[in-house]
Amino acid sequence: MSSEELRSEARAIAGSLRALLQQLVDTGADALPSEPAAARRQAQAGAQGSPDPRRAEEPRPATVAPTRAPKPPFAPSTPSPTRREAHGEARALPVVGHAPEITLDHPVEREVGLARLGALEQLVAGCQACALHQGRTQTVFARGTPVTELMFVGEGPGAEEDAQGLPFVGKAGQLLDRMIAAMGYAPDEIYVANVVKCRPPSNRKPEPPEMQACEGYLHEQIAIVRPKVIVALGATACEGLLKVSGITRLRGTWRLYRGAIPVMPTFHPAYLLRTPEAKRDVWSDLQQVMAKLGKAPPPRRG
Ligand code: URA
């Protein structure tokens, strides 16, 4: 395929993507026809318990399971609570979106995928699908590389992310980068995105309608990147990706995103800033991820 043909295909895909997402926004649709039935069944099978509209309490240090995992190689940081971490009873949440097939392992697919991500980022930049757009400085789309086996998904931008337009650039992000380095990856070797792309007021947890309004965007990002593993950082990421809540119970157990992509739920780095003793649990979760990806940890310095 010539580069002109490639560009024209990318333009066509960007156009259809724009139309598709506009349709999502316009109709508030809760499912698109191409969503695989098996994936929907899996999401429903993974959900347990009854709906609980209350915001769950943040896990307290005393409730963290006794730590038997080895000491984590990412250094302790000064606790600096900026975000709330939710957990509680498992409950089912609605599924939105579709799963187009695309991978980035072929050069042409890569070009098309990158063009689609570029178009999607522009679409997100103009999104007014929920009230969060009113308080944002800018949208926060992603950082890292879309050509990767490993994706991290967080909750939503905080103040620093809203100011810089990039996810995980505040204190929690610095800890996330140390976790990623401990796994043997550079920050530009992985892909990082959030459930919602606009900062919630006072860093509150995003409301379900806000998460639903953004869901098609995250899904499209995942469908384009198609990582081999997703790490779900905290309760909101688990709710957004897996439609299940209860991070304390979920963490460390493999799940599937829409029947297709393995997800490892773990605690959010902001929670670790407040609860450093939970880092051992997170390190044990990340070691499971490394084992699945056949990744050896880098030699420890000092
Ligand atoms: N917390 C998140 O969940 N995402 C960010 O981008 C920053 C902090």
Please give the Cα distance from 47 to 250 (Å, whole number).
11
Domain count, the chain: 1
Q: Closest ligand 1 atom, CA of 236?
A: 3
Q: Comparing C-alpha atoms, which of 246, 252, 282 is closest to residue 59?
A: 246
Q: Closest ligand 1 atom, CA of 154?
A: 3
Phi, psi torsion values for 293, nearest 5 degrees: -90, 0
Per mean pLDDT, which range of 65-69, 80-84, 151-155 is the poorest?
80-84
CATH number (domain holding residue 269): 3.40.470.10
Residue type, 26: D
Please give the Cα distance from 208 to 214 (Å, whole number).
10
Determine the average pLDDT of the residues in 3-9: 61
Helices 208-225, 3-27: axis angle to 10 degrees equals 160
pTM: 0.74
Q: Is residue 254 a part of any domain in this protein?
A: yes
Tell me the CA–centroid distance for residue 140 and ligand 1, in Å.
10
Question: Burial, 26: exposed, middle or buried (Cβ in 10 Å; 0-12, 13-18, 19+)?
Answer: exposed
On the question of pLDDT at 96 being above 80, the answer is no
Please give the Cα distance from 175 to 269 (Å, whole number).
6
**What residue ranges line ligand 1, CB within 6 angstroms?**
83, 154-158, 161, 167-168, 170, 172-173, 194, 270
Strands 143-144 and 191-194: antiparallel
Neighbours of 88 (CB within 10 A): 19
Q: Ligand 1 test: best mutation among 77, 82, 83, most atoms within 8 Å of CB? A: 83
Please give the Cα distance from 162 to 231 (Å, whole number).
22
Residue type, 51: P
Q: Is residue 174 a part of any domain in this protein?
A: yes
Determine the average pLDDT of the residues in 27-49: 35
Q: Is residue 275 a part of any domain in this protein?
A: yes
Q: Is residue 288 a part of any domain in this protein?
A: yes
More confident residue, 93 or 124: 124
Residue type, 302: G
Tell me the CA–centroid distance for residue 269 and ligand 1, in Å.
9
Q: Is residue 207 a part of any domain in this protein?
A: yes
DSSP codes, 262-275: EEEEE--HHHHHH-
- What domain range includes position 183? 72-109+131-293
The pLDDT value recorded for residue 27 is 40
Give the closest residue (by CA) to ligand 1 atom 8.
Answer: 168
Determine the average pLDDT of the residues in 187-205: 97
Q: Is residue 126 a part of any domain in this protein?
A: no
Q: Closest ligand 1 atom, CA of 161?
A: 6
Percent of the chain with pLDDT over 90: 59
Please give the Cα distance from 285 to 273 (Å, whole number).
17
N residues, the chain: 302
Apex 181 CA angle, 216 and 186, nearest 5 = 65
Confidence bin at 1 (pLDDT 50/70/90): low
Q: Closest ligand 1 atom, CA of 233?
A: 3
Give the closest residue (by CA) to ligand 1 atom 7.
Answer: 168
Q: Is residue 298 a part of any domain in this protein?
A: no
On the question of pLDDT at 152 being above 60, the answer is yes
On the question of pLDDT at 284 being above 90, the answer is yes
Residue type, 275: T
Tell me the CA–centroid distance for residue 156 and ligand 1, in Å.
5
Tell me the CA–centroid distance for residue 31 and ligand 1, in Å.
26
Tell me the CA–centroid distance for residue 141 and ligand 1, in Å.
11
Q: Is residue 21 a part of any domain in this protein?
A: no
Q: Closest ligand 1 atom, CA of 166?
A: 6
The pLDDT value recorded for residue 87 is 34
Tell me the CA–centroid distance for residue 157 and ligand 1, in Å.
5
SS3 217: helix
